[in-house]
Amino acid sequence: MAGRLYIVPTPVGNLEDMTYRAVRILQEADLILAEDTRTSSVLLHHYGITGKLMSHHKFNEHQTVELIKEKILAGTNVALISDAGTPGISDPGFLLARTCAREGIEVQTLPGPTACIPAIVSSGLPCDRFCFEGFLPVKKGRQTLLKALSEETRTLVFYESPYRLVKTLEQLAEFFGADRECSVAREISKIHEEHRRGTLAEVAAWYKEHEPKGEIVLVVAGASVRKKHPEPTEV
């Protein structure tokens, strides 16, 4: 009888954000796939989990996915975790989940931590409809994408490196308008969690003077429908 693939979210900051079910699944799994075994060992040790760890990250997933699939088909129950958050969301996981789904293997994804949801809910910007973009392209296609997103009316959510944050805010101001509202969520669920809100120009200016550090989620208001489609004037 085939095993299962469990996709298990892990804390983005505070280790207490683990769910009871996530801890149980990791305790019971025959094999735990980790993005970085050193990072994950800290979490597993905290909860007294001694399951077998195997490295599974973006640099080796194409080489290991078939081996893992065969293990599951042979009856191994596998749990996939990333360094932080839900695997597959800007982290390894999509390829394995797709491979298992196509093979008819049961894939169970546990609800749990992810950085984008706390960031958008805390931003004060509309969160009934939003567009998750993850990391922007560093070079190729970046400006084309920004131009296209400038007319997106849904709230936009990006992940960004602290080293590129100011540049990204300035580029967004260029393409979206300096007065577009935004929120930068930094170090979510950690001791130094911070939320900086304002216009793109204001927040860019702040981080020019205060060097950002840590994990960052950038939330940007969508384009105004009225501005995108101005009402015709009477003649």
- Neighbour count for residue 168 (Cβ, 10 Å): 21
Tokens (6 digits) for 193: 């969690």
- Neighbour count for residue 59 (Cβ, 10 Å): 9
Tokens (6 digits) for 67: 């081996």
Residue 135 CA to residue 119 CA, distance in Å, equals 15
Mean pLDDT by 10 residues, the chain (235 residues): 95 95 97 94 94 87 91 97 92 93 96 95 96 93 96 97 97 97 97 96 97 96 68 49
Long-range CB contacts for residues 23-28, cutoff 8 Å, separation at least 24: 23/47, 23/49, 25/79, 25/110, 26/51, 26/79, 26/81, 27/51, 28/77
Domains 4-109 and 116-228 share a fold: no
Q: Check: CATH 3.40.1010.10 for 4-109?
A: yes
- Domains of the chain, residue spans: 4-109, 116-228
Per-residue pLDDT tens over the stretch 112-139: 999 999 999 999 999 999 999 999 999 8
Provide the whole-model pTM: 0.88
Q: 116-228: which CATH topology?
A: 3.30.950
